[in-house]
Amino acid sequence: LLATTSRFRELKLQHKEYLCVKAMILLNSNMYPLVTATQDADSSRKLAHLLNAVTDALVWVIAKSGISSQQQSMRLANLLMLLSHVRHASNKGMEHLLSMKCKNVVPVYDLLLEMLN
């Protein structure tokens, strides 16, 4: 988690870039389940379209920053590579919360309240 946070700081993430990356993370969180019903397939298609639009917005924000084309490509690649690290940190956090729940260390109600804060 610290390495990922440090990498975001090194990249000096701009606010608009942050918003795009955050939206990509949230949109990607539901991309993994397999779709079975037609309605789910349509929802997944719409979600993928929205994710593409956010990716295009990130490309546009980086392009407006005034850096060279090569630097723009590198910046986009660096930001996209961090998404898997964020996913990994998220999975580790979820595993930890699940283990706490299974061991009855903390009641589920308290875990949910903590996640909302």
Asked if 62 and 76 touch (Cβ cutoff 8 Å), the reply is: yes
Average pLDDT score over residue span 64-85: 93
Which of 6-10, 18-22, 76-80 is predicted with the least confidence, judged by mean pLDDT? 6-10
In degrees and rounded to multiples of 5, residue 29 shows phi and psi of -65, -25
Which domains are assigned to the chain? 2-116 (1.10.565.10)
What's the rounded Cα separation, in Å, for the pair 77 and 71? 10
Residue 29 has pLDDT above 80, yes or no: no
Per-residue model confidence (pLDDT) at position 21: 92
- The pLDDT-based confidence of 72 (bands split at 50, 70, 90) is very high
What's the rounded Cα separation, in Å, for the pair 83 and 28? 9
* Residue 45 DSSP symbol: H
Residue 12 has pLDDT above 80, yes or no: yes
What's the rounded Cα separation, in Å, for the pair 94 and 86? 12
How many alpha carbons lie under 13 Å from residue 76 in its C-beta half-sphere? 19
